[in-house]
Structure 1
Amino acid sequence: MQSATTVRRASEPFLLDQLRAYGPILGMILILVVFAILKPAFLSVANIGNVLHQSSILIIMSFGLAVVMAMRGVDLSIAQIADAAGLLAAVLLLHGQPLWIVFTLPIAFGLFAGLVNGLLVAYAGVPAIIGTLGMMFVIRSGELLMTNGAEPQILFTLPRGLTRNFFFVGQGSIGPFSALVLLGVVVFIAMMVVTRLTTFARRARAVGGNARAAYLAGINIRAVFAGGFVLAGLLASIAGVALVSRTSIAVPRGAEPYLLDAFAAVYLGTLLSRRGDITIWGTLLGGLFITFLSNGLTLLGLGAPYRFALNGGFILLAMAIGALKRNH
């Protein structure tokens, strides 16, 4: 018969495995429970709807970053692409351009910026962190030129007839559902298909798992890697246009705070996977948690410094736990 000490020692690895697997999830839930206790309005239907509305932009942007990071890359330009796409949409609207141009030209810009990133990183051999950082500064300079030195592009003063359809994306609703939330749902479904059911999905997983093995298997790893940046640029531009539609104003560098939040969303998503994988599902839940966290801190009267500190802490925690999962 086994002694109590032997049984206890045998159970310790199991308990550690469970703690590594589910501890972060329980910790995230505990934080939300604390907010609900301190501020009962935190879990009200109105507040939850507001959080879902606010989180859609972050989640759309984070999906693109997740695709790049799953292939062991990084894109520091997504927030700047979103910023410039929103500014471009606002400038076009202020100059009376047709609505289809207001939407399609910024998205085309996002695709172009993502393509340039992909060509620099995958084909020219520029390190991703350097190439996308350079793209970020180039776009930022273009924004200053486009706005005569960071001049805000104010849309809410325009006649409602000119802005109604544009504002519908960020402020309208279809039945009881926010149009922005529905946009997020559509993008989520599309990303689930792209990252699970397509040839690109299989090749991207191979590149992320072992690039050399993928190359020896005949996969064009440069094209796949570049494709991830193109997808990130596309999603960033959609998020940027949606942001301006929601706020009715476009300001240079207005989307930059989303960059840290996007990284936090992706890394937090890895905590929800037993193997620490980057997934669209995990990124979705990570983005929701980040937005609920920001909302809870706001209700408690705590500002951005606390949110940035917590986001940074969560990123470090996710990296540490990911390392533990890989080593066990």
Structure 2
Amino acid sequence: MSNSSISKSQASSASAIGFLRDYGAILGMIVVLGIFWYLKPAFLTAGNIENVFRQSAIVMIMALGLTIVMKMRGVDLSIAQTADAAGLIAAMLIIAGYPVWMAFAIPLLFGLVVGLVNAALMAYVGVPAIIGTLGMMFVIRSGELMATNGAEPQILFTLPRGVTRNFLWLGQRDFGPFAALIVLAIVVFLIVFIIMRYTRFARYAKAVGSNVRAAFLAGIDIRMTFGSGFVIAGVLAALAGVALVSRTGIAMPRGAEPFLLDAFAAAYLGTLASRQGEMSITGTLVGALFIGFLSNGLTLLGLGAPYRYALNGGFILLAMAIGALKRKT
């Protein structure tokens, strides 16, 4: 065999290995979904796909905020508890007879306040993000328990339809030919995508995530940039919490906690769609949809939450390992 033939063979092998390294995990996710479809043909019916999109919308909204923080090498463990509390506030306002607009506006204001406090602690005081947001999580959880007399659920679906109709519209009704919740998720995705692709904040956030010292020397206000990520994450978490209660018609303390692991899994799975193993807004969208289909497929097969948590944790570890290999090469 000639040297040129050997070189071509080596180049082909290297190309195949590179393709598998870059996109093998994506192909693996497609294979997993194919297995679900083979075992349960109803898995890919139009009705089930729409249901998965509705479920994924809440995870996606929460995960987008988390992705922004993590792109700057931070973390926010309080997003699920913020979503919890925002949903409880919305439900309590509806039950107390306040206008519907207040049931949307006040929880978002709560998320903004949580984000501002997190920003002040982490960006300006210098509290490590994993410690500060963990503390915020427990503070919010304690407030929820006190506000609900332990863990009393706030039930909306038993109230007269005239009282809850406008609030539940977001999670249970359609906006034209599409579910209103899906439309909301698309709008949020487009806004966050534009912010993280075409704005000055996007450039600053990338610089902070790449090299904080270099960003500081370049004149970037690294504290303001880093803190802004927590503010966005807090508002999006609150929006996700309100959307969750609007979809289910019930709010209770710790009801949104399982979404924390789902949000992390979506953000890390999104790195598998990047050749450099970096987090991205579009990658998080892919990750959230895969988490939704995975959860739905396991439910159709009669497998419960323990399997989903185990697979989510496994996918997070896989994504981190593959990301490390990509960065090495």
Give the TM-score of the pair, scaled to structure 1.
Answer: 0.98
Partners of 1:16 and 1:81 lie apart in 2 by 43
Query: What SS does the corresponding residue of 2:273 show, helix, strand or coil?
Result: coil
Could you tell me which residue of structure 1 aligns to residue 298 of structure 2? 297
Partners of 1:220 and 1:230 lie apart in 2 by 16
Deviations 1:177-211 (A, max 9, x none): 10000000110111111111111111111111111
Alignment pair present for 1:207 and 2:188? no
For 1:215-294, what aligned pairs fall within 5 Å after superposition?
215-294=216-295
Partners of 2:101 and 2:38 lie apart in 1 by 46
Deviation of residue 99 (structure 1)?
Answer: 1.3
Partners of 1:255 and 1:170 lie apart in 2 by 15
Query: What SS does the corresponding residue of 1:31 show, helix, strand or coil?
Result: helix
Give the TM-score of the pair, scaled to structure 2.
Answer: 0.98
Query: What SS does the corresponding residue of 2:260 show, helix, strand or coil?
Result: helix
Alignment pair present for 1:120 and 2:121? yes
Alignment pair present for 1:82 and 2:103? no
Deviation of residue 4 (structure 1)?
Answer: 5.5
**Counterpart amino acid of residue 211 in structure 1:** V
Deviations 1:36-70 (A, max 9, x none): 00000000001001101111000000000000000
For 1:4-15, what aligned pairs fall within 5 Å after superposition?
6-15=7-16
**Counterpart amino acid of residue 173 in structure 2:** G
**Counterpart amino acid of residue 304 in structure 1:** A
Partners of 2:35 and 2:5 lie apart in 1 by 37
Could you tell me which residue of structure 2 aligns to residue 189 of structure 1? 190
Query: What SS does the corresponding residue of 1:107 show, helix, strand or coil?
Result: helix
Deviations 1:71-101 (A, max 9, x none): 0000000000000000010111111111121
Query: What SS does the corresponding residue of 1:137 show, helix, strand or coil?
Result: helix
Partners of 1:63 and 1:198 lie apart in 2 by 16
Deviations 1:79-131 (A, max 9, x none): 00000000010111111111121111100000100111111111111100000
Partners of 1:157 and 1:264 lie apart in 2 by 34
Partners of 1:5 and 1:175 lie apart in 2 by 60
Deviation of residue 8 (structure 1)?
Answer: 3.6
**Counterpart amino acid of residue 46 in structure 1:** G
**Structure 2 gaps, min length 5:** none
Tell which deviates more after alignment, 172-181 or 67-76: 172-181
**Counterpart amino acid of residue 320 in structure 1:** A
**Counterpart amino acid of residue 161 in structure 2:** R
**Counterpart amino acid of residue 54 in structure 1:** Q
**Counterpart amino acid of residue 213 in structure 1:** A
**Counterpart amino acid of residue 258 in structure 2:** P
Deviation of residue 17 (structure 1)?
Answer: 1.1
Could you tell me which residue of structure 2 aligns to residue 34 of structure 1? 35
Partners of 2:27 and 2:195 lie apart in 1 by 30
Deviation of residue 14 (structure 1)?
Answer: 2.2
Query: What SS does the corresponding residue of 2:289 show, helix, strand or coil?
Result: helix
Query: What SS does the corresponding residue of 1:277 show, helix, strand or coil?
Result: coil
Q: How many residues align?
A: 328
Could you tell me which residue of structure 1 aligns to residue 317 of structure 2? 316
Deviation of residue 12 (structure 1)?
Answer: 3.2
Tell which deviates more after alignment, 80-89 or 97-106: 97-106
For 1:91-170, what aligned pairs fall within 5 Å after superposition?
91-170=92-171
**Counterpart amino acid of residue 311 in structure 1:** N
Query: What SS does the corresponding residue of 2:277 show, helix, strand or coil?
Result: coil
Deviations 1:251-306 (A, max 9, x none): 10000000000000000000000011111100001000000000000001111111
Query: What SS does the corresponding residue of 1:271 show, helix, strand or coil?
Result: helix
Deviations 1:137-172 (A, max 9, x none): 000000001101010001111111111000001001
**Structure 1 gaps, min length 5:** none
Deviation of residue 9 (structure 1)?
Answer: 3.6
**Counterpart amino acid of residue 173 in structure 1:** D
Could you tell me which residue of structure 2 aligns to residue 72 of structure 1? 73
Tell me the C-alpha RMSD between the 2 structures: 1.0
Could you tell me which residue of structure 2 aligns to residue 174 of structure 1? 175
Are the structure 2 counterparts of residues 8 and 223 from structure 1 closer, same or farther at C-alpha, using a change threshold of 3 Å?
same
Query: Between the two proteins, what is the percent identity of the paired residues?
Result: 66
Moved segments of 4+, more than 3 Å: 3-12
